[in-house]
A = this chain, B = another copy of it.
């Protein structure tokens, strides 16, 4: 239900070859496995003996790259990026990785997150006469890195200085002429992990990016950590030492991440099943079948069914094979739009009381359409259960949130929402139960979108 989901802004990937893999192809598969994190543009940059080669464009990984391009991107180290452009930032110029040439050589970067104090940093740089290719915040990092590198003995030293200037969410993969570097902000908002494939090192936003190339998961990059990989010294770890509370984005578990990823020690799928069980306890209702809204809703539904004893079943079938070139229905045809993505499995729905589970409600339009569709296909009742608390506050850490006035939960009570979307009952997960859904320990997650408690200063 593309239209009514929050949008993650990126996925990053890096590969440091100590074997004889085709780096670009490995990154291609890695980005392909991270495609759900950004579907508007993508790019790969490789280090060809100090000369950086890159290709990036609007489109999905399999649209932007073909065999010819991958063959040309010869190199021993490389980084890649998939992007969900924020707002109107959809031109090719904003595709990443970004590359810059400066005093000490070339530097390329791929970024997942959002810099909260970007405006101030930009202003300062502009006063110093800096020029920018884009309104992309990631470019600021390249400026800051160049500025500090001139006065610091190493790129990792310079990046440590850069981190001191940054406020916000950032998981970076960087490439200098001889190094592959991975950095995670001190709060650890966005995921980032390290893998190994034979003697080669891999960096990925999610562990599923390692699995696709059969790389072994080593560990997560820690909040505030700078990981440097070189031929000579292998993997080295540096700590920025910036004090900060750990605040992993909880929405990664709710919606963004793949179920087969393990993030900061917790299986996304298991967390979702546990959340489904929790929901069954909090908001039970007599019913004949529990269904999930594909894809993220399915794991919640399995948990809900298991706990409640109401049988699990498929209720919605998703059409595949879309892509950027898919012809969307025009305005007049829009009402039937939901059918193009989802079809009801009538045999499972007709005459039944249905519990339908989705990960969240943003504007409510999709939920309304699906419930309507279920009823047209004979559902006697539709009880919606939402596997997260009400979405009430904006996110400043890399999620593309609509305006407050578009957020249904800000403007209406649960009862009103229930009526608007046409459900027979509606329940949300409570903020309290979030603490009990099987995540590591309370206190180390950012739930600001639900409770408004921001783990770092936002303006």
For A126, A129, A150, A343, which residue has the most chain B Cβ atoms within 10 angstroms? A129
User: Does A96 belong to the interface (CB within 8 Å)?
Assistant: no
Partner of A346, one of B33, B260, B321, B343: B260
User: Does A212 belong to the interface (CB within 8 Å)?
Assistant: yes
Bound complex: CA A91 to CA B129 (Å)? 27
Partner of A212, one of B93, B260, B339: B339
User: Does A235 belong to the interface (CB within 8 Å)?
Assistant: no
Can you name the residue of chain B whose Cβ is closest to the Cβ of A326? B62
Name the B residues within 8 Å of A70 (CB-CB): 327
Name the B residues within 8 Å of A131 (CB-CB): 100-102, 107, 142-143, 146
A293 to chain B, nearest CB (A): 15
User: Does A174 belong to the interface (CB within 8 Å)?
Assistant: no
Copies in the complex: 4
Name the B residues within 8 Å of A32 (CB-CB): 319, 321, 326, 340
A314 touches B327 (CB 8 A): no
Partner of A65, one of B61, B62, B327: B327
Bound complex: CA A197 to CA B103 (Å)? 46
* Interface residues in chain A, defined as those with a beta carbon under 8 Å from any beta carbon in chain B: 25, 28-29, 32-33, 35-36, 39, 53-54, 60-63, 65-67, 70, 91, 93, 99-103, 107, 126-135, 142-143, 146-147, 150, 208, 211-214, 258-260, 262, 267, 269-270, 298-299, 302, 306, 311-314, 317, 319-323, 325-327, 329, 333, 336, 339-340, 343-348
Q: List 19 A-B contacts (CB under 8 A).
A: A25-B333, A28-B327, A32-B319, A53-B91, A62-B322, A62-B323, A100-B132, A100-B133, A102-B126, A107-B131, A127-B150, A129-B146, A133-B133, A211-B339, A212-B343, A260-B344, A262-B346, A262-B347, A270-B348
